Amino acid sequence: MKLTKKEVLHVAKLAKLSLSPSEISTFEKQLSDVVNYVSELGEVDTKDVEPTSQTTGLTNVFREDGEGGESISSEKALSGTEKIHNNYFVVPQVITKEK
């Protein structure tokens, strides 16, 4: 399957990317190769393969708590600042809404 220029532009729009004409040409080939590879994977016989979400066999790996592992109080944590609201640090806004 070969993706069209229109399909590449649609994917770029979804990813909020601006592409030059040469990039469009490059991505037509590269994205087509990816789609073809994924379709090949669909042809693999997996009916006798057990589904898995991970392969290491490890589950719930946690470290042991050491001595002095107690949490500090909110009051002590917030004691170094005067900028507090509802028992949280007040920090400058870093995410803004785009118009």
Taking each helix axis from N to C end, the angle separating 21-41 and 5-14, rounded to the nearest 10 degrees, works out to 90
For residue 92, pLDDT over 80 is answered with yes
At 59, the pLDDT band (50, 70, 90 cuts) reads confident
pLDDT at 69: 65
For residue 93, the model assigns a pLDDT of 87
In 8-98, beta strands by DSSP E: 84-85, 88-89
Q: Enumerate domains of the chain plus CATH numbers.
A: 5-41 (1.10.20)
In angstroms, the CA 15 to CA 18 distance is 9
